Structure 1
Amino acid sequence: MKNRDTGFPKADAEHDFLRARRRQVLSRLSTWLRREPDDVNIMLPFDEVVRALGRIGERRIGTRVVRLDSIVGSVDRGRDFDRRFRPTSARVRQRWERLALASRRGEHIPPIEVYRVGDLHFVIDGHHRVSVAFALGLTSIEAAVVEVRTKLNPEGIRHRGDLIVKDYRRLFLERVPLRGEARAAVVMTDHWNYAQLGEHVEAWGFRLMQDEGTMLDRATVARRWYDDEYLPVVRMLRQADLVGTRTEAEAYLWVACERYRLMRTHRWDDEFFQTMRAQQS
């Protein structure tokens, strides 16, 4: 709903705050009624995000105009504002209204400070300014940006719970350092599957080294596993119509675990796929 101006900036700033608080409460109620996860309205904590993705380094890139909807988290003020930077209590009211009044009067508002991770931004300083900008219906804000490089791309992170999957994927790729197309192809939706697949690939690599009588580094094992084991099996899974609604990596892990349980062998043959197709039907 569009903000209505009374012509009295101070009164309008007070109404802005009350409106933002009301929207925050209604959002919490809506989340409860829809039985959504508790973390959908919680802003993402910068430290947890970067730890899950694996921090490499950072650099200052100067002042930029950033979209407000790309600001999803905070360094240390997650208690005072929700995911859309609506105030969670009256604790911030005095400063909030002072900034809203300044904005309504057209006074200069200094740029906020943010970390940039991929396309996401996390507020270092300026939480109240972001909150006021949201409340006034703005779509962008000036920010002094520090770009943080990470091992994994933050794509797909929407809620705090998504960090678990990213963290396990980062650990998996440290154990199984896939590159390029292979890295992009092996994707899981359940974080624990990454741990299981990591164990499986390491065991496969150990058997390979025993067979060949030589030591291989992790990168070589990862490449050989993907080319010699994963791709051929995934092709057979597609032909046998056994992928279903899973990702291809999840389908591979499923039949690999079932193969060992059912047959105590590491062969891939027609009999095995017939057994798996019968189980799925």
Structure 2
Amino acid sequence: MSARDSGFPRVDAEHDFLRVRRRQVLSRLANRLRREPDDVNIMLPFAEVVDALGYVSERRIGLRVIAIESIVGSVDRGRDFDRRFRPTSGRVRERWERLAQAARRGESIPPIEVYRVGELHFVIDGHHRVSVAHALGLSAIEAQVTEVRTRLGSDGIRHRGDLIVKDYRRLFLERVPLTGRARTSIVLSDPWHYAMLGEHVEAWGFRLMQDEGTYSDRATIARRWYDEEYLPVVDLLRQADLVGRRTEAEAYLCIAGERYRLIRTHRWDDDVIAALRNQPR
């Protein structure tokens, strides 16, 4: 819906603020009635996102025009606005309405300042300007951008709960430094399962070194586990119709645990497969 325009910027700015506040309250009510997670409508905190993804470096890339919808978080003002930059209280009203009036009069508004992480942007300075831009139905805004590189990509992050999965996945990939296709193919929905799988791979690597009487670094263990253990086992699981609706990594983790519980051997054979087929999925 386009912003209301009566021809009186001050009055329209007041209406704008009341409208977005009402929508923010209704959104909170709807989330509660749907029993959605508390964090689904909370602005993403920059520090938590970078910690979860693993900070590498940053560089200033200067003035850019960025999509409003790509601005999902804040460095330090998360309590004043929700995920869609609607004010969470009347505390910001006076400054908000001044900016809305200026925007309606066509006055020049300074660029905001943001961090860029992947395709996402986090506001350093300019929260009120972003909020007003949302309210007025703008699709883009000028910003001074500093790009932050991280070990993991930001894809899949929608709210704070997603950061838990990213954080555990980052720790898993530090313990099991897979690369290329191997890195992207290991997907688990339960964050704790990344820790379980990490321990499993480390145990597999320890047994391998004992068997061969040599030392291997983490990168070598990760590569050999993926090529010599994970891929063959997943292929067997597909042939035996044991993957089901899970990801292949989830099926592998579940079945690998059952294998050791059922038969104390490192081998995969017909007896193991037959026993596993009778286990609940």
TM-score by length of 1: 0.99
Q: CA deviation at 1:267?
A: 1.4
Q: Equivalent residue for 2:232?
A: 232
Query: What value does the CA root-mean-square deviation take over the aligned residues?
Result: 0.8
2:274 is the counterpart of 1:278: no
Q: Equivalent residue for 2:151?
A: 151
Whole-Å separation in 1 of the counterparts to 2:240 and 2:146:
49
Q: Equivalent residue for 1:131?
A: 131
Q: CA deviation at 1:166?
A: 0.5
Partner SS state of residue 232, structure 1: helix
Unaligned runs of 5+ in 2: none
Q: Equivalent residue for 1:84?
A: 84
Whole-Å separation in 2 of the counterparts to 1:49 and 1:168:
12
Partner SS state of residue 76, structure 1: coil
Whole-Å separation in 2 of the counterparts to 1:235 and 1:257:
17
Q: Equivalent residue for 2:182?
A: 182
Q: Equivalent residue for 2:113?
A: 113
The percentage of aligned residue pairs carrying the same residue is: 77
- Which 10-residue stretch deviates more, 30-39 or 140-149? 30-39
Runs of 4+ in 1 over 4 A off after TM superposition: none
Whole-Å separation in 1 of the counterparts to 2:10 and 2:126:
21
Specify the code of the residue in structure 1 equivalent to 2:144.
A
Specify the code of the residue in structure 1 equivalent to 2:12.
D
Whole-Å separation in 1 of the counterparts to 2:155 and 2:3:
33
Q: How does 1:8-157 map to 2 (within 5 A)?
A: 8-157=8-157
**For 1:172-227, what per-residue CA distance to the aligned partner results, in whole angstroms no more than 9, with x for missing partners?**
01100001011011111110110000000000000000010000000000000000
Unaligned runs of 5+ in 1: none
Specify the code of the residue in structure 1 equivalent to 2:27.
S
**For 1:84-115, what per-residue CA distance to the aligned partner results, in whole angstroms no more than 9, with x for missing partners?**
00000000000000000000000000000000
Whole-Å separation in 1 of the counterparts to 2:28 and 2:173:
37
Q: CA deviation at 1:280?
A: 3.2
Q: How does 1:198-213 map to 2 (within 5 A)?
A: 198-213=198-213
Whole-Å separation in 2 of the counterparts to 1:183 and 1:279:
29
Q: CA deviation at 1:4?
A: 2.3
Q: Equivalent residue for 1:268?
A: 268
Specify the code of the residue in structure 1 equivalent to 2:80.
D
Partner SS state of residue 66, structure 1: strand
TM-score by length of 2: 0.99
Q: Equivalent residue for 1:243?
A: 243
**For 1:109-147, what per-residue CA distance to the aligned partner results, in whole angstroms no more than 9, with x for missing partners?**
000000000000000000000000000000110000000
- Which 10-residue stretch deviates more, 31-40 or 147-156? 31-40
Partner SS state of residue 81, structure 2: coil
Partner SS state of residue 57, structure 1: strand
Q: CA deviation at 1:263?
A: 1.1
Whole-Å separation in 1 of the counterparts to 2:9 and 2:229:
68
Check conservation: 2:4, 2:16, Cα contact below 8 A. no
Partner SS state of residue 174, structure 2: helix
2:143 is the counterpart of 1:170: no
**For 1:40-66, what per-residue CA distance to the aligned partner results, in whole angstroms no more than 9, with x for missing partners?**
110000000000000000000111110
Whole-Å separation in 2 of the counterparts to 1:76 and 1:175:
31
Specify the code of the residue in structure 2 equivalent to 1:248.
E
Whole-Å separation in 1 of the counterparts to 2:280 and 2:272:
13
Whole-Å separation in 2 of the counterparts to 1:185 and 1:130:
37
Q: CA deviation at 1:273?
A: 1.0
2:217 is the counterpart of 1:217: yes
